[in-house]
Every structure is written in structure tokens, then in C-alpha cells.
């Protein structure tokens, strides 16, 4: 198929682009490089430096695109609370412009990079796709709003759409001399920050709260390797059905505590990784773990790299070579 990948210079989008190319698809990457990296764009992909608001320049009716995979957007939940207008504009207004271009060009399939943030503080665990949606951040709200827009689009115009709701993405793509990993600025995710401490770029690691009702008192989160996540997008392309909006949670199904992440990082890196316990952050749930049963049953998707050693090991390989 001929595919447009928005945000294909970013972390998940660039890894997915490589797997799509390996599968024989033609890939066009659209990215404004605001948070992405030109060198992360998969060799073999056509690169267009542009904003998704201008996607109609690429998605013309005669361009022959078979699908759009939409990764572009802003992802920092904390920043979204301080700059809500920015997140609504970037994640919703511009995504609606992209959807207009998709409709005008008669592109039949659409895969959306959604998030577990749409669920907020869960009432039941593990979290299923039918769980209550009550996002606690503007970021989560913008993603949920576009999910709803996709549902309307499929009903009214026959689009075949799939939303993939990620939990915590980790690891790096390591294959044939190519490495793609996480390098956000500023960095807010636990594993990359832990590796910064291991590499001596930070003095210590802060863990926010050690009095949660978990096995060791620290928050528990569901981590998924970026390669496993990328594979799910290829499976989703084959699972699209005209007039339907299908939604799948993507997680490991096994939670890891913050202390377990630190211990695994110490084993992988051989570094001491000093830790300081800080007060809880407002809005942090004790445990977030996904049920990915629907993705397993309907997509045939199963995580292959599902241990912390797998994820942190690949992330450390990337970090030492490209970031540190």
C-alpha cells in the first residue's frame, strides 16, 4: 500500500515507518520537525517537511494513498495543563484539518495514535476499552476528542479507522546497524530519565511517592516495547473495516513498579543510580495496567519483548550511541 505517516520523524512513527517499509509498503513521511528528528526518518521513505494542517498539499485526490497513520501531535500531559490552548490547536484543530484532507482525497483507511490517558484514574483493573473515559489532563482530553471525531467520520463517510491506545512505550529499534530511540526535550518519561542518571547526566533520580498501595509503595505502570507497538500498526492496517472505528488497548498486561524499573536499569547499565523519594504528584494513579485481550484476539497481536531487561537494554544501547 501507499501510506502517509504523520509524525514519522518521531519516536514511534519512525520505528513504525521502518517496519512498514520492511513489509513492502511505500511510505511518505510528513513531519514539521518541531519535536522529531530528520535523521530518524526511515531510509527508503519519502520525506515531506510540512505541518499536518497542510496535509492537503500531499493528500491530493490523484496521489493514490491507501491509508494514513497519524502519529503527529504533542504528548506532554503536564505541559498540556499549562498550555491547553496549544494542545487543543495542535492535537485537535490540526488533526481535523488532516481528516478533511483524508476525506477530500478519498483515502479509505486511517490509523490513529491514541493514548491510555483517555481513561484517567481507572475504576477497575486491568483497563479495557470499555472502561470509563475520564482524562485528567488536557492532553488526554484532546486525544479522546479526536477518537470521537473518528467515530463520527466512520459513521457518516464510511472511513475504516482504528485507534490504538498506548500505555507506557519504552525500548528502541535496534536492527542491521540502525537504532531509533526516545529523545524528548525536555524528557519526562521514567526510563530515559533513569538512563540519564546512569550516564552521569543527572545527579539522581526522583521517585514521586513511596506510600502507594502497591507491593513496594511506588506507582505501577504497564510498559510496552516500541517494536511491539509498531507491529500492532501493521496488523491494524489489515483489520480496518469500512464504516467501523475499532479501538484497541496496547500494553504488556503486566505492571512494573518504579522501583522495579530502577533495579532493572541498575542491572542493565551497571550504574548505581541514586534515588531520592519525592512527594506524590497530584493525579498520579497508583496502578495503570492494560487489558490487551481485544488486540490479541482480533489483531493476533502478542508482545514479544515484554521484559524490562528487553526494553531497558535496547534503550540503553540507543542512549549510549546517540544521546549520551
Active site (catalytic) residues: 139
E strands in the chain: 2-6, 26-31, 46-49, 67-70, 109-115, 160-166, 168-170, 173-175, 178-180, 205-208, 220-225, 245-250, 255-257, 275-278, 287-288
Q: Strands 178-180 and 287-288, how do they pair?
A: unpaired
Contact yes or no for 158/243 (Cβ under 8 A): yes
Cα–Cα distance between 147 and 46 in angstroms, integer? 28
- Helix 94-105 vs helix 138-157: crossing angle, to nearest 10: 20
Distant-in-sequence, close-in-space partners of 54: CB < 8 Å, separation ≥ 6: none
CA distances from 276 to 194, 203, 206, 207, 267 (A): 12, 10, 5, 6, 19
Contact yes or no for 232/225 (Cβ under 8 A): no
Chain mean position to CA 181: 12
Amino acid at each position: 500500500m501507499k501510506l502517509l505517516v504523520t509524525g514519522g520523524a518521531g519516536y514511534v512513527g519512525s520505528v513504525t515507518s521502518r517496519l512498514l517499509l520492511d513489509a513492502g509498503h511505500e511510505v511518505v513521511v510528513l513531519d514539521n520537525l518541531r519535536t522529531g528528528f530528520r535523521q530518524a526518518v526511515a531510509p527508503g521513505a519519502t520525506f515531506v517537511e510540512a505541518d499536518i494542517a497542510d496535509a492537503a498539499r500531499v493528500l491530493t485526490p490523484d496521489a493514490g494513498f491507501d491509508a494514513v497513520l497519524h502519529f503527529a501531535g504533542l504528548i506532554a500531559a503536564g505541559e498540556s495543563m499549562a498550555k491547553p490552548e496549544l494542545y487543543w490547536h495542535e492535537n485537535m484543530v490540526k488533526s481535523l484539518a488532516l481528516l478533511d484532507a483524508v476525506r477530500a482525497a478519498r483515502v479509505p483507511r486511517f490509523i490513529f495514535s491514541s493514548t491510555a490517558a483517555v481513561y484517567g484514574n481507572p475504576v477497575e483493573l486491568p483497563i479495557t476499552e470499555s472502561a470509563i473515559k475520564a482524562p485528567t489532563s488536557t492532553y488526554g482530553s484532546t486525544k479522546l476528542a479526536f477518537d470521537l471525531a473518528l467515530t463520527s467520520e466512520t459513521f457518516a463517510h464510511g472511513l475504516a479507522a482504528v485507534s490504538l491506545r498506548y500505555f507506557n512505550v519504552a525500548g528502541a529499534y535496534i536492527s542491521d546497524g540502525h537504532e531509533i530511540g526516545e529523545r524528548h526535550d525536555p524528557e519526562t518519561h521514567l526510563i530515559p530519565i533513569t538512563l540519564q542518571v546512569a550516564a552521569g547526566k543527572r545527579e539522581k533520580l526522583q521517585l514521586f511517592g513511596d506510600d502507594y498501595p502497591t507491593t513496594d509503595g511506588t506507582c505501577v505502570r504497564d510498559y510496552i516495547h516500541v517494536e511491539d507497538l509498531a507491529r500492532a500498526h501493521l496488523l491494524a492496517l489489515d483489520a480496518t473495516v469500512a464504516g467501523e472505528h475499532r479501538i484497541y488497548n496496547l500494553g504488556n498486561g503486566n505492571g512494573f513498579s518504579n522501583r522495579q524499573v530502577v533495579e532493572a536499569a541498575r542491572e542493565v547499565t551497571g550504574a548505581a543510580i541514586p534515588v531520592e523519594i519525592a512527594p506524590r504528584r497530584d493525579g498520579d494513579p497508583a496502578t495503570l495496567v492494560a487489558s490487551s485481550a481485544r488486540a490479541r484476539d482480533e489483531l493476533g497481536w502478542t508482545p514479544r519483548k515484554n521484559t524490562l531487561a528487553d526494553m531497558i537494554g535496547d534503550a540503553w544501547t540507543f542512549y549510549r550511541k546517540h544521546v549520551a
